[in-house]
Structure 1
């Protein structure tokens, strides 16, 4: 059993075979899945899909790319989504100072609104960050955030330790499997306690380069999550079975899911 804590299921790349993607994932042992939301519309799509699937959960929130389009009514709609039990984290929220698709001050304002929401309803924050680490860390500290996920972590050991010191979990993706750019992440992984490890594909992005048979379309899918677990095991010296098991347990813990979702031999 393995839990993918990062799937962009309503990406247009999955429009033609979405249910087949789900079926292939389950056949590969991916029984738990967290669907990532980037705006209010996608949050609603994800919530509806989760109501149809076993062991599917989702985030609800606004990605920094879309911060400029947020209205007061959007924030009210966002709050209402958390009335559904399957909506377990606020996000994908954070800061992106690399592409700057929304003005930075607007990104900060919308991020702070979502941090306040997460605190008020006691939900994990699901964090995106690119080229904005010092500002994002300062805001997390200001808002006393102690419960959440550094999604698709690609930073160094100092950044990882800063997130760990706040009490956050670390999401590791197929970025780790890319020998062209994974050096600092491999080094940081040596400092990650296994009880803070989460694994995610970020599908359809970040196809693991270590796959022996890569799809011709280069599209990542949740069914490839076991390859990420295998590579983490290779780097850490743990067994792949242990990585799968403990990441499942961590996923259930961070999202406050019922204990009977935790599969223990």
Structure 2
């Protein structure tokens, strides 16, 4: 069985409260033994780090643009402390979301910017979120020299080209399994070098619409990562096992090249 790495799981979600151990066990039974647990605010970042230690996984520490408006005054100091904890390998999920605009755009830019500064100061990768904000985020990134991943990429060819030229990896999710929304992404996958792809479920969100049978809960989980891998492998004209190996190597080179404590 191929060994997969799920480069984006919201394991702190309340949707997993009743069966978190079973979620991790089911993932391993499908070959998904490595996972990156996403932090979206200070609380979930701390909890992700705790879960990463518990399950011998990895975690991010950051503030999502949706939550930018709610940060305390000392959030960057707290984030700096979290970033040095065992199993934390990236700053994020941070970025800009001009689609939902749950936080005012100037606030999003401010909170994103200080996190990019922190990532550069700590020489850590960034775990980036961008929705309908390519022009602004790309301009911000140009002020830094960062490595990282554009999580759950759903942009156009222009955005893809820029992020690849910048040096980012591209996170692919079940979005490309959506016959309604994923057509553009499926067309763009051909342009992404295999050594720049990460596979993500973004569980419990983005359940692959091609999955059969669908779970009654309609909840996504890391065990369904092979469904995404199957579609990416077909689009890249490669085998699932080769894709699994390559994307796991990509994950290690981006997040673990400097070692991880714990």
Give yes or no for TM over 0.5: yes
Distance 2:180 2:40 in 1: 28
Residue from 7, 10, 34 that aligns with 2:9: 7
SS in 2 for 1:62: coil
Q: Hey, what does 1:262 align to over in structure 2?
A: none
How many matched pairs?
257
SS in 2 for 1:230: helix
Q: Hey, what does 1:74 align to over in structure 2?
A: 75
Q: Hey, what does 2:48 align to over in structure 1?
A: 46
TM-score after normalising by structure 2: 0.95
Q: Hey, what does 2:28 align to over in structure 1?
A: 26
SS in 2 for 1:176: helix
SS in 1 for 2:75: helix
CA deviations on 1:23-46 (whole Å, 9 max, x unpaired) are 101111111000011100111101
Paired residues of 2:53 and 2:86 also in contact (CA < 8 A): no
- Uncovered stretches (5+) of structure 1, i.e. residues with no partner: 260-265
Paired residues for 1:180-219 under 5 Å: 180-219=180-219
Q: Which has the higher contact order (CA 8 A, sep 6+)?
A: 2
Q: Hey, what does 1:222 align to over in structure 2?
A: 222
Distance 1:131 1:249 in 2: 30
Distance 1:96 1:141 in 2: 18
Q: Hey, what does 1:231 align to over in structure 2?
A: 231
Distance 1:253 1:144 in 2: 17
Paired residues for 1:66-105 under 5 Å: 66-105=67-106
CA deviations on 1:143-162 (whole Å, 9 max, x unpaired) are 233x0100000112221110
- Uncovered stretches (5+) of structure 2, i.e. residues with no partner: none
SS in 1 for 2:74: helix
Distance 1:258 1:29, change over 3 A: farther
Q: Hey, what does 1:165 align to over in structure 2?
A: 165
TM-score after normalising by structure 1: 0.94
How far off is 1:71 after superposition?
2.4
SS in 2 for 1:149: strand
